[in-house]
Amino acid sequence: MPEENGQKKLAMVVMSGDMDKLFGAFIIANGAAAMGMEVTMFFTFWGLRAIKKDVGTGKTLFGRMLGMMYGGDISKANPSKFSFGGLGRWMFNKMMGAHNVAKLTELRDMAVQLGVNMYGCQMSMDVMEIPQEAFIDGVKEPVGVGFFLLKAQDADITLFI
């Protein structure tokens, strides 16, 4: 068992790539880290872009197509409602800026800084042809479901976003 110092733990799956859900995920992760918890974020499927740099990905035709159609980085995340081909993202960014809410990129960088443990899901990285090199610094080596379940089993809070 890791640290028996009574440290609380949070384990989170981030499957969504939606702007609103990513806000939720990173705000909770940062809050938990600030409260002294050990935080694990397991990024899978649409969530992988949230930890990606703005680089092209994909090897095969389909992989490259996906890399183009769902490319870029976390700042390309659209809201789950009112997407309107990017207009919704623009509007929410304006509104959040006006209310002085931190940007998604800032929240994510803060999470790295606060020591939040971020992992890519190896299987979806393989399927989507996103290599570890495409991720930002601070993302740990890819893991699988067994690793996540071990963390989840040991955690006080588990979330699926």
Partner 1 sequence: MPGAAREKGSTMSEEIKVDLELDLKGLLCPLPMVKVSQNITNVPVGGVIRAVATDPGSMADIPAWAKSTGNEVLSAEKQGNEFVFLVKRVK
**Residue ranges that bind partner 1, judged by CB under 8 A:** 8, 27, 30-31, 33-37, 99-102, 110, 114
Q: Which is nearer to partner 1, 24 or 131 (CB)?
A: 24
Nearer to partner 1, 101 or 127 (CB): 101
The closest alpha carbon to 155, from 44, 38, 41, 42, belongs to: 38
Q: CB nearer to partner 1: give 27 or 127.
A: 27
Query: Can you read off the two tokens belonging to residue 98?
Result: 């006006």
Give min distance, CB of 36 to partner 1, in A.
Answer: 5
What is the dihedral angle through the alpha carbons of 43, 49, 53, 57, rounded to the nearest 10 degrees?
110
Residue 35 Cβ vs partner 1, minimum distance, rounded to whole Å:
4
Eight-class DSSP state of 134:
G
Of the pair 48, 50, the CB lying nearest partner 1 is at: 50
For 159, the 3-state DSSP assignment is: strand
Q: How far is the CB of 31 from partner 1 (least distance, A)?
A: 4
Question: From the CB of 30, what's the least distance to partner 1, in Å?
Answer: 5
Phi-psi region of 75 (alpha: psi -120 to 50; beta: other; left: phi over 0): alpha
